[in-house]
Amino acid sequence: MTQLTIRGFDEQLEQRLLRLARVEGLSLNKAALKLMRRGAGLDSAADRPDVIGDELDDFIGVWSKDEERDFLDSIQVFEQIDESFWS
């Protein structure tokens, strides 16, 4: 296996790396490899409980950011609580 030295970690990336290593009980090396595989799109969504995945996008479609915003704006009225129902 190839050895690689990486310099220039910013604090945010360093903290994410340390957290991943601690939470998953990994060495820093294994945590770094895991993050790099994620970033390169080489891991599957099944290995990542925090990601829903995109395997069904071709069947169900995806929304643009504008479509998402329009939808969320349109359902905002349903987020309001009608106090008369609770009296």
- Residue 74 included in any domain: yes
Which tokens in the block code for residue 44? Answer: 């599957």
Q: What is the mean pLDDT of the chain?
A: 84
pLDDT of residue 76: 93
Which tokens in the block code for residue 56? Answer: 């069904």
In the chain, the number of structural domains is 1
DSSP state of 47: G
- Residue 23 included in any domain: yes
- Residue 59 included in any domain: yes
| Residue 34 belongs to domain spanning | 11-79
Rounded CA separation 3/53 (Å): 31
- Over range 51-79, report the average pLDDT: 83
- Residue 4 included in any domain: no
- Residue 84 included in any domain: no
Neighbours of 52 (CB within 10 A): 9
- Residue 39 included in any domain: yes
- Over range 55-63, report the average pLDDT: 76
- Over range 41-70, report the average pLDDT: 75
- Residue 38 included in any domain: yes
More confident of the two residues 43 and 38: 38
63 torsion bin: left (phi>0), alpha (psi -120 to 50), beta (else): beta
Query: What's the pLDDT tens digit per position in 4-39?
Result: 888 888 999 999 999 999 998 999 999 999 888 888
- Residue 47 included in any domain: yes
Cα dihedral 5, 7, 13, 17 sign = positive
